[in-house]
Structure 1
Amino acid sequence: MADLKVQQVQEWLLSTYRNQSKFAAFVSETGFEANGLTDNTTMTALIYALQYELGISDVTGSFGPTTLRLAPRINLSNAGNYPKNIIRILEGGLWCHGYNAGYNESFNSFGGTYDSDTDVAVKELQNDIGTNPSGNFDGYLWKALLSTDAYVTTWSNGSEKLREAQQYLNGLAINGYFFTDDFIGGYLPTDGLNSRQFNSALIYYLQAVMGMYASEATGFIGDATKAGLITVPDNLPDDVTTARHYVRAIVFALLANGYDLTINSYWSEETAAAIAQFQRDMALPVTGKVDVTTWMALLVSYGDKNRPYAACDTRFEITESRLETLKAMGIQAVGRYINGTEFKVLRSGEVERIINGGLGLIPIYQENGTNAIDFSNVIGRSQAVKAAGNARKFGIPYDSIIYFAVDYDAQDWEIAEYILPYFKGVSEALTNFRVGVYGTRNVCSQVTSAGYAVTSYVSNMSSGFSGNLGFRMPSNWNFDQFDEIEIDDWGIDKVVYSGLYPVVGSLTNRDSDEQLIKDALARVTDGLPLFTGVAGRIELDGEEKTLFDDTLIRVTFSASADVAAGDDEEVGNTIFVYNYSKMDSSVENIIKNNLGLSNQVKLDAEGITSTLASNIFYGKIESSVSVQFREIMYTYKVILYEIELLGGLTTSASITFNIYLKNYNLPPRYQVPADIQDKVIQVSHEAYQGVSAAQVISGGLAIIAAGAFLLYVGPAIITAIPTIMEGLIAAMGIILNTQPAM
């Protein structure tokens, strides 16, 4: 929502600095405007303005060391000594952060007067940050003010306890307890959210507690810091102040990992219980004490890289010699890719070598997966089908878990818009196997909470990923990837195995090419009760088989692995499908308009076609109508392209469904008269002569048949016999939407 005062700040910036060359270029490049919204461009514009007023020659819009050094030290008593534009910039920053810097009805309220309202706003900001509310505005406060960092939890929905920890560290740092310039160059946000900045500050704090000098501290865990970690509470120092800082650092680390407990500086039963729970969650020895391994797990997602592990993953082929190496290292299971090029995929005979050699297999599926655009619902459905096919090719038993990889630091909005739809598609389309998710703690937790995965493979090795900061390990984690090592000419990632779910420990007979084709054809009938019973009955002989036959309707099907040359041509009434296209309302309207259907006539033909299309990755649907021996026959022929076979080969195959409406068994008033049957034959013949123009829409539904579509009944038929057609369609609607008795 736009804010009037923010808009006034933006208008003042534009009117005052537009003629400054670098500011004008900034406006041109970013589109900065007076829209009343606080964002990065607004804060950058304020920094530009401050740098101009300070006389800095290299105006950049970034708050660097020079700006920090020259930023004016202002308070209520000396504000009159500074130019009004300096005061306006300060007030503008306060307004953009939601503080009341003074108000009256005119724009001139933003007129450069540092009054009691401004003083109160400055003190509120200092209090929110966690420093002494003195009203003295210094360089660090300027830097905090002219940023988009939040100092309240109102918008962030952060933890109030973690905010208290952030405020505490800000207060210590600014009062000289530890290294303000080195560890953050200013204040931490106090939004109650964990971040790289808070994680670094917490480590700086711990390094100061250990007694490191500023020149030694780094803000990350190195050998010196790890060597200085003590076991708490056993080895707490006698100095009470130092001991309390150690305990407080532990409490802050627990809060940062998503555990809720009282903030205190005394070792308590509550703290010991929280540590014990953390150790259980991380599959560490449960002692209730903070030893080196527990410290490391609290402070970095990868934890102690020297801790034991019983699993690994690798892109390298597990040869006989490598198998023996892994067994000698105590490895019980190895993660390998079931897709991809020879750079990483399982090689011929490798899976048998792994299983027969006494190791378990962890099947991993990753197709790109390093950017949000690699994920969508249709991509998930496509990859699920490929993964299931590949698993069967390798002889992986049904009900095994396949881990689908999200191999980057997906943000919350990306998880919502891309990752969750992808896993929804995977979970819907993966047959006979279970879904696992590989990714950050945040990704794994959200996918699991949505019900799209049974277990998690957590990429804790990426400690800098925001998705691993401030998030507990998902309760269903099976694997914890935490380090990588080189072994001669190959390498592995170290993985802790929780044992929550089994790995693949045996193999089944591999599917034949013929079975892979049959399975692919059977999947096109998912969600269509009319074609229930096809799976398990498909033979690739082209012979028509009866699915069921009753008084009003007969349904047959035939399948073939031979796609004739003519099948690849664009015939009269065809839908090309790519990436599991779904027919939306606009497409359905096109179909109805082309049919000339009135509102009183309801066909489910588009429903059948839409469902068939949603079950196809790459193929086409041909539809037709004909009259045979007084039966109206509706035909749907589905051709699938690029069915994956053994050895990476692909093929095409088809399945044809015929629906025979027994016109002669309908009540006389609902029967289609002979002249109308002749009209159906005529229109059908015209369509197959190529009357309709062809169009292909990639990734969507391609409609090839602008004239008589699907049922080939034109408006003349409907207008001529509305009563008969209404009754006929009503009868069909009942039949097509219910499963007839077998």
Structure 2
Amino acid sequence: MADEMVELAQRFINSYNVPGIPKVEVNGRTSWTVMFALTRALQHELGITALSDSFGPTTLSTLQSRFGPQIDDLTRHGNVYRIIQSGLYCKGYDGGGMDGVYNDRVAESVTELKSHMGVGGAYPGSGLQPKVFKALLTMDPYVRVGNGTEQVRTIQQWLNGRYINRREFFICPCDGNFSRDVQKALIFALQYEIGMSDDVANGRFGPGTQEGIRTQAVLGIGSVDGSKQFVHLFQAAMRFNGWDVAFDGRYSGALADTVTEFQRFAQLLPANGSADFRTWASLLVSTGDPSRPGTACDCITTITPARAQALRAAGYTTVGRYLTNASVPNAKNKKIQPGELATIVAGGLTVFPIFQTNGGDPEYFNAQQGAQDALAALEAARGHGFLPGTTIYFSVDYDAVDDEVTSRVIPHFRALADRMAGYGSEYRIGVYAPRNICSRLAKAGLTRGSFVSDMSTGYSGNLGFPLPKDRAFDQIATVTVGSGDGFIEIDKNVASGRDRGQNQFTPRGPDTALDVAFDMSQWGALATDLVHYIEDNGHDDWYRDRTPRECITKVLDMDALITGLARSFRMRKSLIQAVTFWEYQADFTDDAVDGLVAAYFRWWEAYELWQQNPVGQPPPAPAVIKDDSSTGVAQIYGRTAIRARNHCVGAGVIPGTTLDPEDWRARREIWQRLRDDDDYNVSTVALVHIHSAHLVGVTTDRLRYSDADNVAVLARYNGTNEDAQEYGRRARDLYNIFERFNAALRA
């Protein structure tokens, strides 16, 4: 929402005609662009000529040398006041106008801002200290936002208030959310309590900090803060990682119990409830203590008998291996090799599969690629013999910032999940990624397990994010194992027990009988054959709303999906193409009927709400009751789809639970998806054909249907009467046209 006072701030910025101070859009919305411009304006007013977005040491020291310990009503610098007023408005505080005066309203807002930051005690009064000015010109919030909690916000304020007078400590956000800046502030605080000087403390979890924890900060029941604040800091670390503990400076039995629970969750065994080094490390840095043991690993190197023996002797029981090689020039040969899985199992190990073709490139992640990855991973996993239900960990091997997770990674995985569901959900979807990506995908319901790339400690997606609750593996260090023929470099993983890998495999080699992608150079020839068939057989009048060429285009636009369905369910794609081609011409001829069905569902919903609170008359039923219709690309009834899915679940073709086709809620959900989601609709065609074959007694291998089988299955798509038989014969003719092209490509 636009804010007129922020607009004033933006116009003030644009009043500068100074090289290095960019013009900003006047839109009334706060952004980093605005804050960076205000920072550059301040640098200009301070006489700094090399302007930058960074409010760094030069800006800070120049500000202090120019104006002293604080800016207040005695400073008398109109434009600096206007920069302060602009910053206040951008932060949501009263800036007292844009008049270049440090008036009572500005003073009151600065006092309130410092209170929200937690530095009011360290910086009393209404003056604006240099570090507060630096914090003012950021996008950091100092009130609770989003999913932030008051408990975390209290700790953030405590950190600011206690350590703000240390040279390298700057005001951290006070929004109730854990973040990389808050994590850095916590480590600075720990370094100060250990006794590091301002010249040594750096906010990094290095050797000095680790040694200080080992020698000074090991805590247990009865530990109480005195001059050092180790218990408070440990409680803060627990809180930041999502564990509900008090912030009182006392190491109580309740705290020890929660620590024990955390240690078990993080596999810090034996879990003893004390704040030992490994527990501190797991709370402060994504790898935790990288020297701790792991029972799982992953590698790009082929496992030989000697290497399997070396891994087992080193305590490893599970190994992650790649399903395919990367789709990049000069790719390493890191995929599972012929006979390797048997070697691994013979060595006493289990295996979990990783899918990565080019997961380190941000441009790789999009919905189209996600859909393609579904079939590639499915067929690779089948080829290696991984059993149904296995989790495949799809790699996101780069530091995607939160906006990229939203715009790239989530659409990629949503398409991946939708396409995998269309193919029958034979395998579960997991992710290999930094913590934030893992947690966001799990929250969106798109993954079933996380392989956390915690070894990348500097990734923004790891800094300030707790260990995901659904993590199966936690990658913490690159190590070498064995010697001679048994030597191998691996990434050591801590296993949570959610995924124990597998040691049984049923390989399904390449099947040349399966259909492949359509050769789009044959589009014109296919179109000609189909149009001739329609015209020669007097079917022109059937295509009232869409032309045959429009219907051909629709079918071929969905070729990747249809090919994947045919390969996944081992059927001829011509079966799916024939009915989709024919039915698409009728896709929007039944809008009025669909409208009646939608009205029926709305009435049921309103009626049930009335039943919960029966005041007045119940909503009147529609004048025309229509509780289902053939809808969407391939014109499928809700009941038909439910019955087909129920059959396929019962036959083990797809996982899931059965639904009642007479339950209006279940029918509405399926019917709406059929109407609104083209991929879902066409995916359902394959299931309807499988169910139809069962209903008409066709039990032959789906890749080897006879002509009579095809007619019977296609006819059942339309019903059981004589019109359906005619439909079957006509659809068989269309099938044969598509099949001539598909068969030539299989050869």
Range of TM-score over shorter length = 0.5 to 0.7
1:171-190 Cα distance to aligned partner (Å, 9 max, x none): 11224xxx332xx4x32122
Distance 1:462 1:50, change over 3 A: same
- Where is the strand percentage greater, Structure 1 or Structure 2? 1
| Alpha-carbon distance, 1:329 to partner | 0.9
For the pair 1:192 / 2:176, whether they are aligned, the reply is yes
Counterpart position of 1:170: 160
SS of structure 1 residue aligned to 2:461:
helix
Counterpart position of 1:446: 440
Find the partner of 1:573 among 524, 527, 548: 527
Counterpart position of 1:364: 354
Amino acid at match of 2:10: Q
Amino acid at match of 2:99: G
Which piece of structure 1 moves more, 481-490 or 495-504? 481-490
| Alpha-carbon distance, 1:619 to partner | 7.2
SS of structure 2 residue aligned to 1:343:
coil
Counterpart position of 1:697: none
| Alpha-carbon distance, 1:615 to partner | 5.8
Amino acid at match of 1:63: F
Distance 1:78 1:605, change over 3 A: closer
Counterpart position of 1:633: none
Quote the Cα distance in structure 2 between the aligned partners of 1:148 and 1:449. Answer: 26
For the pair 1:401 / 2:391, whether they are aligned, the reply is yes
Which piece of structure 1 moves more, 446-455 or 67-76? 67-76
| Alpha-carbon distance, 1:351 to partner | 2.1
Q: List aligned pairs for 1:508-547, cutoff 5 A.
A: 508=506, 510-514=507-511, 517-518=513-514
Kindly name which structure, 1 or 2, has the bigger radius of gyration based on alpha carbons.
1
1:184-242 Cα distance to aligned partner (Å, 9 max, x none): 4x321222222222212211211222223333323222223222225653497787232
**Are 1:297 and 1:303, in contact at CA under 8 Å, matched by a contact in 2?**
yes
Amino acid at match of 2:226: V
Distance 1:165 1:659, change over 3 A: closer
Distance 1:85 1:425, change over 3 A: closer
Q: List aligned pairs for 1:189-228, cutoff 5 A.
A: 189-228=173-212
**Are 1:76 and 1:116, in contact at CA under 8 Å, matched by a contact in 2?**
no
Distance 1:78 1:36, change over 3 A: closer
Counterpart position of 2:661: none
| Alpha-carbon distance, 1:605 to partner | 11
Which piece of structure 1 moves more, 419-428 or 45-54? 419-428
Amino acid at match of 1:35: N
Quote the Cα distance in structure 2 between the aligned partners of 1:305 and 1:566. Answer: 52
Which piece of structure 1 moves more, 462-471 or 477-486? 462-471
TM-score if structure 1 supplies the norm length? Answer: 0.68
SS of structure 2 residue aligned to 1:38:
coil
| Alpha-carbon distance, 1:517 to partner | 4.0
Amino acid at match of 1:260: D
Amino acid at match of 1:571: A
Amino acid at match of 1:140: K
Quote the Cα distance in structure 1 between the aligned partners of 2:300 and 2:41. Answer: 53
Identity %: 34
**Are 2:220 and 2:251, in contact at CA under 8 Å, matched by a contact in 1?**
no
For the pair 1:39 / 2:31, whether they are aligned, the reply is yes
**Are 2:188 and 2:203, in contact at CA under 8 Å, matched by a contact in 1?**
yes
Q: List aligned pairs for 1:386-397, cutoff 5 A.
A: 386-397=376-387
Amino acid at match of 2:462: N
1:296-345 Cα distance to aligned partner (Å, 9 max, x none): 11111111111111110011122233222212211111111011144321
| Alpha-carbon distance, 1:441 to partner | 2.6
SS of structure 2 residue aligned to 1:423:
helix
Quote the Cα distance in structure 2 between the aligned partners of 1:566 and 1:472. Answer: 48
For the pair 1:241 / 2:227, whether they are aligned, the reply is yes
For the pair 1:137 / 2:125, whether they are aligned, the reply is no
SS of structure 2 residue aligned to 1:58:
coil
Counterpart position of 2:51: 59
For the pair 1:501 / 2:493, whether they are aligned, the reply is no
Q: List aligned pairs for 1:141-540, cutoff 5 A.
A: 141-154=132-145, 156-175=146-165, 179-181=166-168, 184=169, 186-230=170-214, 232-234=218-220, 240-242=226-228, 245-285=229-269, 286-340=271-325, 341-430=331-420, 431=424, 432-486=426-480, 490-508=488-506, 510-514=507-511, 517-518=513-514
Distance 1:595 1:198, change over 3 A: farther
Distance 1:377 1:574, change over 3 A: farther
Counterpart position of 2:90: 96
Distance 1:150 1:738, change over 3 A: farther
SS of structure 1 residue aligned to 2:55:
coil
Quote the Cα distance in structure 2 between the aligned partners of 1:408 and 1:352. Answer: 32
| Alpha-carbon distance, 1:604 to partner | 12
For the pair 1:3 / 2:7, whether they are aligned, the reply is no
Distance 1:619 1:332, change over 3 A: closer
Amino acid at match of 1:45: A
**Are 2:72 and 2:127, in contact at CA under 8 Å, matched by a contact in 1?**
no
Distance 1:330 1:264, change over 3 A: same
Q: Which runs of 5+ in 1 are unaligned?
A: 104-109, 525-562, 577-593, 621-637, 645-652, 662-699, 702-732
Quote the Cα distance in structure 1 between the aligned partners of 2:493 and 2:143. Answer: 38
Aligned length: 560
Counterpart position of 2:560: 616
1:14-48 Cα distance to aligned partner (Å, 9 max, x none): 22x12x2333xx33xxxx23222211222222222
Amino acid at match of 2:496: S
| Alpha-carbon distance, 1:137 to partner | 1.6
Which piece of structure 1 moves more, 302-311 or 387-396? 387-396
**Are 1:336 and 1:362, in contact at CA under 8 Å, matched by a contact in 2?**
yes
Quote the Cα distance in structure 2 between the aligned partners of 1:607 and 1:261. Answer: 62
Counterpart position of 1:715: none
| Alpha-carbon distance, 1:597 to partner | 5.9
Distance 1:265 1:499, change over 3 A: same
Distance 1:368 1:131, change over 3 A: same
Quote the Cα distance in structure 1 between the aligned partners of 2:352 and 2:207. Answer: 33
Quote the Cα distance in structure 1 between the aligned partners of 2:157 and 2:720. Answer: 65
Distance 1:76 1:513, change over 3 A: closer
1:495-532 Cα distance to aligned partner (Å, 9 max, x none): 11222233121222x32333x643x57xx9xxxxxxxx
1:620-651 Cα distance to aligned partner (Å, 9 max, x none): 9xxxxxxxxxxxxxxxxx9x9xx99xxxxxxx
Counterpart position of 1:115: 103
Quote the Cα distance in structure 1 between the aligned partners of 2:69 and 2:167. Answer: 22
Quote the Cα distance in structure 2 between the aligned partners of 1:306 and 1:201. Answer: 25
Quote the Cα distance in structure 1 between the aligned partners of 2:406 and 2:71. Answer: 50
Amino acid at match of 1:438: Y
**Are 1:257 and 1:469, in contact at CA under 8 Å, matched by a contact in 2?**
no
Amino acid at match of 1:138: Q
| Alpha-carbon distance, 1:353 to partner | 1.6
Counterpart position of 1:14: 14
Quote the Cα distance in structure 1 between the aligned partners of 2:259 and 2:177. Answer: 21
